[in-house]
Amino acid sequence: MQRFLDPTVLAGISSLDLIAKTVVDGFVSGLHRSPDFGFSQEFAEYRAYVQGDDLRHVDWNLFARTERCYLKRYEGETNSQLVVLLDASNSMQYGSRKPVKADYARYLAASLFYLAIRNQHDAAGVIVFDDEVREYVKPSTRQGQLTRLLAALEQAEPRSRTDFLKPLEHFQALLHRRGIVIVISDFYEDPETIVRALEALRFRGNDVVLFHVLDPQELRPELKGPAILVDLESQQKIEVVPEYVASRYREKLQTHIEQLRTRTQAAGLEYQLLPTDQPLDTVLREYLSLRQAER
Amino acid sequence: MGFLAPWFLAGLAALGIPIFVHLLRRHIVVPQPVSSLMFFERGIQSSTRHKRLRYLLLFTLRFLLLLLVVLAFADPFIRRFANDTRSHLLLIVVDRSFSMRSGTRFSDAKQQALSLLASKPRSQRAQILALGGRVEVLTQPSPDSNLLRTTLEGIEAGDGQGNFGDLGRTIRTLNDATPGPVDLHLFSDMQKTGMPGNFADAVLPPQVNLTLHDVAKASTLSNWTVESISAPAELLDPKDTTKSHVQAVLAGANTPEAIKKVSLVIDGKILSSREVKVPANGRATVEFAPLDIKYGFNRCEVRIEGDDALPADNGSVFVVRRSDPQRVLFVHRSADERSALYFGTALNAASHGAFVLQSVAVEQVTDLDPNKFAFTVLSDATALPSIFEHTLEQYLSKGGSVFMALGLDAGRRTHLPLWGGDLKRVRNFASSEESAAVSQVDFTYPGLEQTQPGRDNGGWAGTKFLYAVMVDPSNARVAARLSDGTPLLLEKPIGEGHLLVFASGLENLTNDLPLHPVFVSFVDKTSQYLSGSEQLSGMRMVDSFVQLRNAAEASKSEAATSEVIDPDGRRPLSLKDSQKVQTFRFSRSGFYQIHFANGRSAVIGVNPDRRESNLEPMSQEIRALWTGSNAGAAEVEKAPVAGTKYQYVSLWWYVMLLAFVVAVMETVFSTRYLGTQREEI
């Protein structure tokens, strides 16, 4: 089943639903051997009763033996809310191989939704944005929520350019309940601007994760000779020499990634770099880890 | 510089192709998309300019390639002065013919040739040839001056006849083998007699520039010589004045009338002297008789006393052999008495007693040894006793000679002894109305030799043949044929000997040949040829050949040894050559001792060609014609080389070589360029 976590294999599947099911089923079957994760309704711990606790959770058998009130706590007892902020700007349509960044991001989002709704019974929603909010599906656990989310992903074709500050106010208005916020983007923006835009969500009690999606060719670009490059968002063209790409470009990109990682961690955000040739289980693992930490 | 095929320059229109491809056609650059230019900076070197530079380099190479190919087809040439002789082959020909012995001609020729050799540029190649008798190529083309000088100094004067026709043929052959400009320098006395009768034989190739170096100091020199000698090669009786005499013809060239003293010298002793008056530029005859000579070989010389321009030709040598009459074995059918009569009469009339015929019936020959006879005649004796037939086979293989006439008895036989083949059929013309005549006669054959045969086919036209036997002529020389094509006289070499077959009888029943005068001549010459006495003595000319053995014997591994001792007492044949060589060339004048492979010995006097005695040089007109003989041909040839101030050197090879280099460079550049472009797209 691990084979179905490979992005190259997933690129051959047309249906997002099937992609998400393939990824999650493959991921979950691998979890049975893992000691770190488990399903909900499993016993977790005993906690001393405090006033106001629901008496339904008191372990009366223990009270009979010890004459003390203890509450029995279970894993996954509390449902989370997952909101995915999906960057659908033009820069996401770049890809030196299949899948391109936009598709990879959609696979990510679909797999997260499938895992959250079908396996964890969490509420899930999505906000598709570029320089404004293009699509919003309110988090919910209602019947047919997964279908709506996947339909929103299908329609999230890349266009326009990215702007984090502009749709920020909309994010805050839309996300009034705390939960897990996953931002999927290539983050071609100043790290300071990105952190400033997203740390407001953190202040509202959300666990914010940044999935930085980049094509391998963007991480390690190679040019055989001087070439003319055109920006997919601004359509600006410049002439570039291979020597620059092999040295200065990589330095600047690594600096950008390091700043992004440092600034997000400083702001209490999670950061994960995801080349599009990397399997999707990393993302799912990150989600479950956050969900457990949140509880 | 010019072009030998200028119409190919029209191909220069093809130069428009790279111009269109590289300069006129708009180049489309496909930009590469990237997510963001956030981390990119404009390159210092313009990629477009870089590509354009590569384009221009590629364009230049392609333009140059087309240009060079077109130029190569147009065949460019450069013109340079023809006196740049470094590329010319210097051909030095030294005349070593007999006439060069006159005065200091030969030493002068060698000296002048050495001077020319010393003045040649060090890098120029030269080759040395010697003319005289035959043209000898002494060296290959070489720039090595030491080798050339040593070779030149080693040339000695010879006794051969210089023929400029032979020189022309040799130069044409050499020039065909290694074409190129040649500077030919001929050091000679320019004898008029050296020029061939057909001037075309002496014409040189167009690329050969002939320079004549005349070493004859005086234009006309007086010279007397013994032009010819008439003497018997074999003598039976010295007192027989009909044969025992020597007649010599003296000739003068550019000479005044003079009285010359002529001596006959035999074995180094002056036997007799005469004074004879030789007219101006004329001839005189002197005769010595009788010849008082001893038995065996007598080395004779007729010598003109006194000095002249060419003392070497004042004597003429010859050999007279004195011997007893030789017996001839005549084997005939017992019923045939006529053939012996006719043959014996003719032999006696011709040879004046040199041969004695011993007639024997075929039934009585069993115990006879043919080695005791000069040769053997089998007259219609095809039914030989087997012992005698075997003896004759041995006799033939060791050098004996047999003359076999096929009469009426042969027609009844199917097997022909000694010949090695069956009798095919009999041609009997008596039954038809017309008899056969002799239609074809090979007058070069020794038995039929005639220098100037008349209209009657040398006397053979009047003979009538009523009967002849068809003999298989394979591996045989047919010397005469009848009018219906039947071979009449055939000779086949067997071992070292000769078997001569006359396809008719020697009597007057099968033909009327014995009744004609030509029969005596035929018997005389055939007898001399078969007995071998003809070549055992007498005189020959320098550069003539003598046959040491038969061709069939020369190819055998264990052939009999022959030996030659030249006038200096040396043996010119090596041990291997003495067993293999078929013929020997007389290269010098004087007395040669020869031991033939068939066991016979001979002493032969050899004299230079008397045309060498006429020292008159060729006229200036002929010289001018010869030295300019290649000018007309040069105009016909497209590339003028000799006779003009310039020569033309074609450059197409170098241009094609350069085009190849450019093509390789273009391939390398275009491959790199196109490969990069594919990846970028």
Q: Do B45 and A256 touch (CB under 8 A)?
A: no
Does pLDDT of A41 surpass 60?
no
pLDDT higher than 70, residue A257: yes
Closest chain A C-alpha to B75 CA, distance in angstroms: 42
Chain A residues within 8 A of B32 when measuring between CB atoms: 227-230
Q: How far is B681 from chain A (nearest CA, A)?
A: 10
Above 50 in pLDDT, residue A38? no
Would you say B468 and B427 are in contact if contact means Cβ atoms under 8 Å apart?
A: yes
| B671 part of contact set with chain A, CB < 8 Å | no
In B40-174, DSSP assigns E strands to 76-81, 89-95, 126-131, 136-137
pLDDT in tens, B633-663: 444 344 444 444 566 778 888 899 999 999 9
**Contact check, Cβ <8 Å, A94/B33:** yes
Whether B35 has its CB under 8 Å from any CB of chain A: the answer is yes
- The two tokens of residue A248 are 């200065």
Q: Is B34 on the interface with A (CB under 8 A)?
A: yes
| CB nearest to A229's CB, from B31, B51, B676 | B31
Min Cα–Cα distance to chain A from B47, Å? 5
C-alpha to C-alpha distances, B169 to B88, B159, B197, B289, B545, nearest whole angstrom = 20, 21, 14, 46, 21
Q: Coil, helix or strand for B229?
A: strand
Closest residue of chain B to A245, computed from CA coordinates = B40
Q: What is the pLDDT of residues A105-143, one digit of tens each?
A: 988 888 888 888 877 778 889 988 888 888 888 888 888
Cα B536 to Cα B334: distance, rounded to the nearest angstrom: 35
Q: Is the CB of B51 inside 8 Å of chain A's CB atoms? A: yes
CB contact under 8 Å between B680 and A91, yes or no, is: no
Q: Is A235's Cβ below 8 Å from some Cβ in B?
A: no
What pLDDT, on a 0 to 100 scale, did the predictor assign at position B681?
35
Strand residue runs (E) in B522-663: 539-541, 545-547, 563-565, 583-585, 590-595, 601-607, 646-650
- Whether residues A228 and B31 touch (CB distance < 8 A) is answered with yes
What the block records as the tokens of B214 is: 């005349």
Q: Best residue in B28, B32, B35 to probe A by mutation, most A CBs within 10 Å?
A: B35
Q: What is the pLDDT of residues B581-590, one digit of tens each?
A: 888 989 889 9
Which of A241, A247, A251, A252 has the most B C-beta neighbours within 10 Å, making it the best mutation to test the interface with B? A241
Give the pLDDT confidence of B189-241 residue by residue, as tens digits. Answer: 988 888 888 888 888 888 888 899 998 876 677 889 998 888 888 888 888 87
Contact status of B672 with chain A (Cβ, < 8 Å): no
| Predicted pLDDT at A53 | 81
Asked if B300 contacts B347 with a C-beta cutoff of 8 angstroms, the reply is no
3-state secondary structure of B552: helix
Beta bridge partners of B326: B355
Q: What is the mean pLDDT of residues A54-80?
A: 79
Tell me the chain B residues in contact with residue A225 when contact means C-beta distances shorter than 8 Å: 47, 50-51, 676, 680
Please name every residue paired with A208 in a beta bridge, in sequence order, or none if there are none. A181
* Chain-chain contact of A231 with B42 (C-beta, under 8 angstroms): no
Nearest to B40 among A91, A186, A249 (CB): A249
B146 contacts chain A (CB < 8 A): no
Contact B40 A244 (CB under 8 A): yes
Minimal C-alpha gap between B679 and chain A (Å): 8
Contact B39 A252 (CB under 8 A): yes
From B38, which residue of chain A is nearest by alpha-carbon distance? A188
Dihedral angle computed from the Cα positions of residues B182, B186, B191 and B196, in that order, rounded to the nearest 10 degrees = -20
Please indicate if any CB of chain B lies within 8 Å of the CB of A91: yes
pLDDT value, residue B613: 86
Evaluate whether B520 touches B419 at the Cβ level (below 8 Å).
no
Tell me the sheet residues that pair with B649.
Answer: B78
Which residues in B lie closer than 8 A to residue A218 (C-beta atoms)?
34-35
Nearest CA in chain A to B36: A231
Q: Is B28 touching A (CB cutoff 8 A)?
A: no
pLDDT number for residue B680: 40
Residue B41 to residue A244, Cβ atoms within 8 A: yes
Report whether pLDDT(A255) > 80. Answer: yes
Q: How far is A197 from chain B (nearest CA, A)?
A: 19
pLDDT at B607: 92
B19 interfaces chain A, CB cutoff of 8 Å: no
Record: contact A224-B680, CB cut-off 8 A: yes
Phi and psi, residue B488, nearest 5°:
-100, -45
- Contact between B325 and B358 under an 8 Å Cβ cutoff? The reply is no
Cross-chain Cβ contact B35/A186 below 8 Å: yes
Contacts of B46 in chain A (CB under 8 A): 226, 239
- B45 with A226: Cβ contact below 8 A: yes
Cβ <8 Å between A215 and B33: no
* Higher per-residue confidence, B242 vs B489: B489
User: What is the nearest CA distance from B40 to chain A, expressed in angstroms?
Assistant: 6
C-alpha radius of gyration, chain B, whole number: 39
Report pLDDT digits (tens) over B420-466. Answer: 777 777 878 777 767 788 888 888 888 888 877 877 888 888 888 98
- Measured in angstroms, the CA of A6 and the nearest CA of chain B are apart by 23
pLDDT tens digit sequence for B290-317: 888 888 899 999 999 888 888 888 899 9
Residue A262 CB-half CA count within 13 A: 8
0.80 surpassed by pTM: no
Residue B91's closest CA among B57, B116, B59, B64? B116
Is the CB of A97 inside 8 Å of chain B's CB atoms? no
Rounded to 5 degrees, what are φ and ψ at B617?
-75, 160
Mean pLDDT over the full length of chain B: 83
- pLDDT > 70: percent of chain A: 80
Contacts of A234 in chain B (CB under 8 A): 37
- Whether A209 contacts A272, CB under 8 Å: yes
Interface contacts A/B by beta carbons within 8 Å:
92
Cβ–Cβ < 8 Å for B132, B97: yes
Per-residue pLDDT, averaged over B106-126, amounts to: 89
Interface contact flag, B43 A186, Cβ < 8 Å: no
